[in-house]
Amino acid sequence: MAGGGRRSGGDAGRGSGGARPSGRRWSDRLVDKVKRLEADLDAARAPGKPAGPGKAPAGGRARASRGPSGDPLLEARRRWQEGFDAAPPAGPDREKPVTVSLRPMPPLCDPTDLAGKDHLADIGWPGEFPYTRGIHRSGYRSKLWTMRQFAGFGTAKDTNERYKFLLANGQTGLSVAFDLPTLMGYDSDHPSSEGEVGMCGVAISSIEDMDLLFRDIPLDRVSTSMTINGPAAILLALYVAVAEERGIPSEKLRGTLQNDILKEFIAQKEFIFPPKPSMKLVVDTIEFGVRRMPQWNSVSISGYHIREAGSTAAQELAFTIADGFGYVEAAMERGIDVDAFAPRLSFFWNAHLDFFEEIAKYRAARRIWARHMRDRYRAKDPRSWLMRFHTQTAGVSLTAQQPENNIVRTAIEALAGILGGTQSLHTNSMDETLALPSEKAVKIALRTQQVLAHEHGVASVQDPLGGSWLLEKLTDDLEREAEEYFRRIRDQGGVLACVEKGFQQREIARSAYDYQRALERGDRVVVGVNRFVEEGERIEIPLLKIGKEAEREQRRRLKRLRSTRDGAAARGALDAVRRDAKADRNLMPGLVAAVRARATLGEIVEVLKGVYGVHEETPEF
């Protein structure tokens, strides 16, 4: 990992004699010194020229010599370094100075860390290419981020009541959490669904379930996010069909479909069909969105689950953006103009424990995406260069022990997302390692966002940490590491080929193993887990319990649906879906027709399994 060594450069504040230089302004003299460092770096990188004292080897950063240099900045840094090296070492009770990605952190950063940097081209201004500092000029001054709490449990009726509770308490967007049977494409009455219906999300099997989920909620005035991947096209069809039956055209619907199947193969593992037909379904939704849903984000390219699987920040950044490139290339191969769909692609990032590393990750992500979209994919519309993203605090950082501590973790992670410029945010509830969130816990999570938005001034200034030597160094380091991963992925034949070979999966598995070992050695401290443990702790917070009634209710609803629908119409619509799949046509119009004919999620998935087959992953050790 980059960034680990103690540096011997100079300090920005004093000259070699400890007094402020006279004559020209000190800031002007500092700029001149940085420019000389940049010139030294360029000279060191020239072919065939060895790097001298205080100069970086080819391809590296400028490092100051420990010997006298005559430069006040470098001399001051050298003196500080000597004092730091002579300071007493950390005691055995201190964890190692590494990030959650196990990236060693330098004890200090200064202008020498940014030698050779073009500040205008690389950092720039909010709302201007390459968008390192944010995609909007006015940031949160004009509009706060959307507060979008992920919610779903039990039946559609149960979750509908939770949505109304959240909206009444100031939430500004909806986010649907589906149960495991729905995520895997099973109806609630399928044998494989037994015991799982409504347990980790809401059970949705039919258009009637979807209608009940959004009862009394104006779909043309609310933005809805749906976290679903394998059967995502079918859930989108259900949403569109419900709106159409209410007289709302699809053109007026606003929201996001996660629909990131590559991430499922890499990390979350909720796939159904093999990779190639799965990618075809994603492109079908992109094409449908271009034609009929101009306000809808057809894909939310998700790093969240990659990080939850154990990746480092750099791996989350690289694998997620590489997946985005894969969707761009697949849509362009279909013949869809890049500027017709790229403005409606969005991203979904994790906000993990390490404050500075996470902010740097978001800044690097915007810069990488903008440059590749403009220069590699030749997008001409500046909206195609913008990385718009949702952020969720890290579920994997929550602990079952001392769960109230999770409120603090979540607040700091949320702050990183805000200072990183997120467009929408979910804050996890303190009880999520123990159960689905209770009303009390979810209200605290929402209030956390509201306190940050309105009481601490963090929404007043764009990219307030921009220009920090540490933050800019981390941003550069993460960008460089991501670009190296892009090279490795290209060398192996691209994203889909790497997924099929298990490349990303192996990289993540190694990182997860290294992190677990660091926890066990005590190199990373988790309060209440491997330090500050309370023996005999009792959990004293209220927990939400999901009983068996949700499953019984779902079975009754499906039985009633199948007995009252027009069976011939449903079978005809399913046959049409089968013909479209075999003919390689866009499935979205046929899926909308099928769900309006009351065909169920599971029935449609079974038809597509008959055409596409089922994916079985090769285990990686």
Average pLDDT of the chain to the nearest whole number: 89
Whether the pLDDT of residue 11 is over 70: the answer is no
Give the pLDDT confidence score for residue 14 in this predicted structure: 31
The band of 618, judged by pLDDT with boundaries at 50, 70 and 90, is confident
Q: Report pLDDT digits (tens) over 395-443.
A: 999 999 999 999 999 999 999 999 999 999 999 999 999 988 998 999 9
The pLDDT score that the predictor gives to residue 119 is 87
Name which of 14-18, 134-138, 338-342 the model is least confident about: 14-18
Asked if residue 447 has pLDDT above 70, the reply is yes
In this structure, is residue 246 part of a structural domain? no
- Beta-bridge partners for 225: 175, 256
Kindly state the percentage of the chain with pLDDT values over 70: 88
Average pLDDT over residues 525-534: 95
At position 110, the amino acid (one-letter code) is D
Q: At what angle do helices 275-292 and 232-245 cross, to 10 degrees?
A: 30
Together in a domain, 273 and 347: yes
Helix (H/G/I), strand (E/B), else coil: 234: helix
DSSP characters over 372-434: IIIIIS---SGGGG---EEEEE-GGG--SSSTTHHHHHHHHHHHHHHHTT-SEEE---TTTTT
Please check whether residues 380 and 408 belong to one and the same domain.
yes
The total domain count for the chain is 2
Q: Is 498 a domain residue?
A: yes
**Do 133 and 75 share a domain, yes or no?**
no
**Structural domain harbouring 44:** 16-87
Least confident of 1-5, 106-110, 239-243, 580-584: 1-5
DSSP state letter for 347: E
Q: How confident is the model at residue 547 (pLDDT cuts 50, 70, 90)?
A: confident
Of 72, 87, 102, the domain-final residue: 87
| Residue where a domain terminates, one of 482, 509, 528 | 528
Bridge partner residues of 98 (DSSP): 104
Confidence at residue 283, expressed as pLDDT on a 0 to 100 scale: 98
Q: What is the pLDDT, as a whole number, of residue 621? A: 62
What's the confidence (pLDDT) of residue 113?
A: 87
Structure-token match 């670009």, residue found = 483
pLDDT mean over 209-238: 96
Is the residue at 621 inside a domain? no
Both 36 and 67 in one domain: the answer is yes
The angle at the Cα of 363, spanning 361 to 369, to the nearest 5 degrees, equals 95
What's the rounded mean pLDDT across residues 237-258?
Answer: 97
pLDDT of residue 45 exceeding 90, the answer is: no
Structure tokens at 288: 């449908």
Per DSSP, the three-state class of 350 is strand
- Cα angle for residues 438, 442, 444 (degrees, 5° grid): 120
How is 262-330 classified by DSSP, letter by letter? Answer: HHIIIII----S-HHHHHHHHHHHHHHHHHH-TTEESEEEE-HHHHHTT--HHHHHHHHHHHHHHHHHH
Report the pLDDT value the prediction gives residue 615, as an integer from 0 to 100.
94
Residue percentage of the chain with pLDDT more than 90: 78
In a domain, 193, yes or no: no
Place 43 in a pLDDT band, splitting at 50, 70 and 90.
low
Same domain, 32 and 110: no
DSSP letter for each residue of 420-435: TT-SEEE---TTTTTS
In a domain, 439, yes or no: no
Same domain, 44 and 67: yes
21 and 74 together in one domain: yes
Residue entry with tokens 């159904």: 272
- Mean pLDDT over 274-288 rounds to 97
**134 shares a domain with 21:** no
More confident of the two residues 287 and 171:
287
Distance of CA 534 to the CA centre of its chain: 33
pLDDT of residue 33: 53
pLDDT of res. 115: 80
The pLDDT of residue 172:
79
35 and 125 assigned to the same domain: no
Look up the pTM and report it.
0.86
- For residue 373, the domain's CATH number is 3.20.20.240
Please give the residue that has the higher pLDDT: either 263 or 59.
Answer: 263
205 belongs to a structural domain: no
User: Which of 315, 307, 320, 302 has its CA nearest to residue 397?
Assistant: 307
Q: Tell me what pLDDT residue 267 has.
A: 95
**Residue 120's CB: how many other CB atoms inside 10 A?**
9
Q: Is residue 102 a part of any domain in this protein? A: yes
Domain end call among 510, 528, 546: 528
Question: What DSSP designation does 177 have?
Answer: E
Q: Which of 83, 71, 16 lies closest to 39 in space, CA to CA?
A: 71
> Do 80 and 112 belong to one domain?
no
518 in a structural domain = yes
| Model confidence at 56: pLDDT above 70 | no
Predicted confidence at residue 20, as pLDDT, reads 35
Task: Say if residue 25 is in the same domain as residue 77.
Answer: yes
pLDDT for position 368: 98
Does 108 have pLDDT greater than 70? Answer: yes
Kindly state the tokens that stand for 326. 């894969």
List b or e across 74-101, with b for residues whose CB sees 16 or more CB atoms inside 10 angstroms.
bbbbbbbbeeeeeeeeeeeeeeeebbbb
For residues 96 and 62, state if they share a domain.
no
